[in-house]
Amino acid sequence: MTMDSVNPANGSVLGRFDTWDAPRVSKALDLAGRAAPEWARMDIADRGTLLRRAGEVLRQRQAHFSQIITQEMGKLSAEAYAEIDKCARVCDYYAEEAPRFLADEVMESDAARSLVAWQPLGTVLAVMPWNFPFWQVFRFAAPALMAGNTALLKHASNVPRCALAIEEVFHEAGFPAGVFQTLMIGAPRVADVIRDRRVHAVTLTGSEPAGRAVAAVAGEMLKKTVLELGGSDPFVVLEDADLDLTVEQAVASRFMNAGQSCIAAKRFIVVEPVAEAFLGRFREAVRALRPGDPSSDATTLAPMAREDLRDTLHAQVRDSIAAGAVPLEGCEPVPGKGTWYRASILDRVAPGMPAYDEEMFGPVAAVIRARDEDDAVRIANDTRFGLGGSVWTRDTDRGEALARRLACGCAFVNGLVKSDPRLPFGGIKDSGYGRELSLLGIREFVNAKTIWIR
């Protein structure tokens, strides 16, 4: 079997890569196991030096790596370039902060001295998605490696060039053999890798079904998991919102990366007094988005990553319209080569429609009208997902109070939801569990070992 790298902008095949058989996978697991003890014993400052070098490699070859992202999954060049920069920053962040995060924590007890020591679990398998093909990996790898774990990457099958390029970064930075490896395997082999005794924990960023499947196997084997799954983030617009800022950020939050982001705003919940004013400006801004060559600075809307994803999105749009949603803009594929979908707005979205109940993973904004603030909160929380959410108001105290009422892992006031190395990131409900980034992220894959001394 092969993994095909296909340019979604025009359908051209960029390369084909053979998948690994079981003996090749076992060889990689052996290598990770042999590397783990020495890597764990290495002084954390020395691990930090290597991680900083990885950041330097990313910056030195930023144009090359961003081009691979743009070619392989269609991300706009400027967005791909920014993604590589963010990966370098998370390397710097954990190289600097990990010694403090993982320092022994002295505790009071009946002992002469007692403490918690944070020690690595061993080898962590990361099952990662295609939509942020470098960032999703580095936000896992930087803390996991600094904690002394070795890492195995099973990347999405449509981004094999990105997967191999990431391994190349760690190799060029001087990491010991086996500390970070890319496994060239498809989804059917993941369960066997999770069950292998040489793997000690699993992290997954991806779809809800994939998360359930991975969690089931890991649970069977009693292995720690962190899951960051889908989202249907509310974007709550109150009557006192600054509409210039709000509309600008609404377009960015929904249509960045062609809307293919777990933390993209997906449900625009607008209180009635400002609904028409918001929609008028929002429609104008959405009409101005231009599909085209993702490597061109003139292009403002990227293609979707795969044809099956576009087909799924369009079916959701059709079914929502059939159930009563009003198509205001787009709502259809772009004909011709590549996997393009028009920047779209659905108005009058209501319960029972896919645009209300499901995650819409593409450039479609669902507008839901609310009577008032309390109704907006009710609608925002009327979802099985709970990843992020945002509130838009000139009254920041009011915004904070409303943000506290949102049932999600990340709530932003007057800013689009984003991940930041300094802040914990993750969701609740069907958006998963556990946290990445910040202090909480590096402590997910460690043993909090109590040490008691008389």
Q: Which residues are known catalytic residues?
A: 228, 262
DSSP characters over 216-243: HHHHHTT-EEEEE----EEEEE-TT--H
Within 10 angstroms of residue 219's Cβ, the number of other Cβ atoms is 11
With vertex at residue 141, the alpha carbon angle to CA 171 and CA 30, rounded to the nearest 5 degrees, is 65
Residues 159 and 128 sit within 8 Å (Cβ to Cβ): no
With the C-alpha atoms ordered 154, 155, 161, 166, is the resulting torsion angle positive or negative?
Answer: negative
Q: How far apart are CA 409 and CA 389, in angstroms?
A: 8
**190 contacts 216 by C-beta, under 8 angstroms:** no
Cα–Cα distance, 241 to 389 (Å, whole number) = 16
Residue of 399, 369, 394 whose CA lies nearest to 244? 394
Closest CA to 84 of 50, 51, 56: 56
Give the list of residues 6+ apart from residue 313 with CB closer than 8 angstroms, or none.
304, 341, 360, 361, 362, 364
- Decide: residue 120, CB within 10 A, 0-12 exposed, 13-18 middle, 19+ buried: buried
Give the whole-angstrom CA distance, residue 377 versus residue 273: 16
DSSP symbols for 172-208: HHTPPTTSEEE----GGGHHHHHHSTT--EEEEES-H
